[in-house]
Amino acid sequence: MGNSTSPALKRVEVTQEPVSSDVAPVVDADAALGRPLSLDGLHVAFGERKVLNGLTLDIPARQFVAVVGRSGVGKSTLMRLIVGLDKPGAGEVRIDGVPVNGLQPSVRLLFQDARLLPWQTVLNNVGIARRPGWREASLAALGDVGLVDRQSDWPAVLSGGQRQRVALARVLVSHPSILLLDEPFGALDALTRSDMHALLERLWLQHGFTTLLITHDVSEAVLLADRVVVIRDGQITYDVPITIPRPRRRSDAAIVALQSKILEQV
Ligand SMILES: Nc1ncnc2c1ncn2[C@@H]1O[C@H](COP(=O)(O)OP(=O)(O)OP(=O)(O)O)[C@@H](O)[C@H]1O
Ligand SMILES: [Mg+2]
């Protein structure tokens, strides 16, 4: 064990958890946490510009939905409504039947950049909320994303993919019932992205949060989601279930066929 005073040099010898999806998912106590989400006739306008125009979507608990749509159609705006950062001009967001009014602690957002505090170690970033028992919970979450051995490092020495894994660990610590991911892997190279897909799928199967993934990458949507929806002109214009068994392969003919079908709708 390292007892060095420099946080960047501390190490704890714990076996790193595997990151790939070839581990059988274990449904844990959190699995019941996923909650249903209803988007009911949402309208948002910025001045003259109508962004959401009666958008309606019902998502059952634990479903994994991918949201695709062209730049500027209102995908991030929608996420802000769900987490309670903004209010719709009309319509309602409901979580488990309860209207969202103000910031929702059970909803967590993950962005393209990990948004870690550079002056805090990896462990302290994960446990940033400092709830009772945060250290143990944070170590467990770092184990979940395969980064226990980097707990004492500063964010600056991590790769982009590792930073996103730390951000995922920080999300896991708070046991979200709904996870919103806004283009989380857009800045990563293809191989790292593919590792992150496997990791996200495993964590989702294990923890069971209702998941909304915004992505420009239709192949990512089809690989990961139970259902892909397309936003156009402020509404859901296409809604397709993906029933291809998991784990899915990018080269699978059914995946490729669905991708081109969805792309036609975007
Ligand atoms: N606070 C704001 N004030 C004014 N206009 C805004 C505001 N937030 C978003 N918009 C506008 O709303 C529209 C939708 O923005 P939003 O960020 O939701 O798009 P998006 O689908 O997430 O796009 P991208 O794929 O590029 O991230 C855009 O035209 C944007 O300029
Ligand atoms: Mg956006």
Asked whether 46 lines ligand 1 (CB < 6 A), one says yes
Q: What 8-state DSSP symbol labels residue 153?
A: S
Burial of 53 (0-12, 13-18, 19+ CB in 10 A): middle
Q: Which pLDDT value is given to residue 136?
A: 95
- Architecture field, domain 7-263: 3-Layer(aba) Sandwich (3.40)
Q: Give the pLDDT band of residue 32 (cuts 50, 70, 90).
A: low
pLDDT in tens, 99-111: 999 999 899 999 9
* Of 194, 210, 231, the residue nearest 75 (C-alpha): 231
| pTM score | 0.87
Q: Whose CA is nearest to atom 1 of ligand 1?
A: 46
Asked whether 106 lines ligand 1 (CB < 6 A), one says no
Cα 251 to chain centroid, rounded: 24
pLDDT over 80 at 11, yes or no: no
pLDDT over 60 at 1, yes or no: no
Percent of the chain with pLDDT over 90: 80
Asked whether 51 lines ligand 1 (CB < 6 A), one says yes
pLDDT over 90 at 2, yes or no: no
Q: Give the pLDDT band of residue 131 (cuts 50, 70, 90).
A: confident
Contact (Cβ atoms closer than 8 angstroms) between residue 54 and residue 201: no
Q: What is the mean pLDDT of the chain?
A: 88
Contact (Cβ atoms closer than 8 angstroms) between residue 173 and residue 133: no
Q: Of 31-40, 150-159, 194-203, 236-245, which range is least confident?
A: 31-40
Domain boundaries, the chain: 7-263
Angle between helices 190-207 and 160-173 (to 10 degrees): 10
Q: Which pLDDT value is given to residue 3?
A: 41
Q: Which pLDDT value is given to residue 129?
A: 86
pLDDT in tens, 46-69: 999 999 999 999 999 999 999 999
User: What is the distance in A from the centroid of ligand 2 to the CA of 74?
Assistant: 7
Q: Sort strands 107-110 and 37-46 into parallel, antiparallel or unpaired.
A: unpaired
